[in-house]
Amino acid sequence: MIASNSLAFVLCLSLPAFAQEGNPTFDDLRNSLGDLEQKESKEEKNKKEAIVQKNVEETLKIYSDTLGKKNGDMQNVSRRLDVNKGLETKYERLLKTARNGLATTRAQFINRTISLKKSMDEGKISKDAYEKLLDEDTKRFRNRERELQEDISFYLDEFNTAQRSTKDLSTRKEMMTFDPFGGNKEEGAEKEKPAAPTIAQKVKSTVGEVSGYGTRSVVDSLK
C-alpha cells in the first residue's frame, strides 16, 4: 500500500514535468520507479539496522545486569568455598589425631595386659591382684576407646560433609567462571595475551554469530 502510494506520488510529481516536454516515455517511468525503489531500499535498510541496534542494546543491558548479579554470587561462592576448605582441613586433622589416639590406646592396653600376665606367671603378683588390675585397666580402656570411636565417627561425618560441600562449590564456581566467549584459555598461554574484549564487543559478536579402625574392641579380641 505504501509502495503504491509512493509510486503514485513520484509519478504525479514527474508527470507535470513530462507533460511540459511531451508525453512520458517508458524510460522516464522506469527511471522514476528506480528512484523510488532506491529510496525504499535505503529506508528499509535503516529500519533493519535500527532493529538490530535495539536488540544489541537490550541484550547488552541484560548481560550487564546478569554479570553484576553473577559477580555478587561469585564472591559468596568463593567465601563459602574457602570456609569449607578450612573445615575439611580441620576435621581431616582431628580425624587423623583421633585414629592415632585409638591405635595408641589399643597398643598400650595390649602391652599392659601382656605385662600383667607375665608378672603373674613369674609370681610377682598374685592371681587376685592380676585380675583386679586387669579389670581396672579394661574399664579405663573401654571408656577411652568408646570416646575415641565417637570422636572418629563425628569427625568423619563432618569431614565427609565438608568434602562434599567443597566439591559442589568448586563445581559451581567453575560453571560461574566459564566464559563461553573466551575459547580455550590454555592455548597460547605462554604467548602474550591480547587485550580482553569488552562485554559490549562480546555481546555484539554473539548477536552477529575407614579401614584399620574398626568398631570391635581389642578387649574382645584378647579373650
Per-residue pLDDT reduced to its tens digit, 136-162: 999 999 999 999 999 999 999 999 999
Give the three cell numbers for residue 70.
553473577
Amino acid 196: pLDDT: 61
* pLDDT for residue 73 is more than 70: yes
Those residues whose C-beta lies under 8 Å from the C-beta of residue 158, and which sit 6 or more positions away, are 87, 91
Separation of alpha carbons 223 and 91, rounded Å: 34
220 within 8 A of 145, measured Cβ to Cβ: no
pTM of this structure: 0.51
Calpha distance 43→58 (Å, rounded):
23
Which residues, other chains included, contact 149 with Cβ-Cβ below 8 Å and sequence gap of 6+? 102, 215
Please name the helix (run of DSSP H) or strand (run of DSSP E) that holds residue 170, with its range, or none: helix 127-177
35-51, pLDDT tens digit by residue?
A: 655 665 666 766 777 77
Lowest mean pLDDT among 5-9, 71-75, 196-200: 5-9
Q: Taking all residues of the chain, what is their mean pLDDT, rounded to a whole number?
A: 73
Query: Which position has the higher pLDDT, 52 or 135?
Result: 135
Q: What are phi and psi of 194, to 5 degrees?
A: -70, 165
Give the list of residues 6+ apart from residue 152 with CB closer than 8 angstroms, or none: 95, 98, 99, 102, 210, 213
Q: In the predicted model, is pLDDT for residue 59 greater than 70?
A: no
At CA 178, angle to CA 174 and CA 182, rounded to 5?
150
Domain 39-178 has CATH 1.10.3470: no
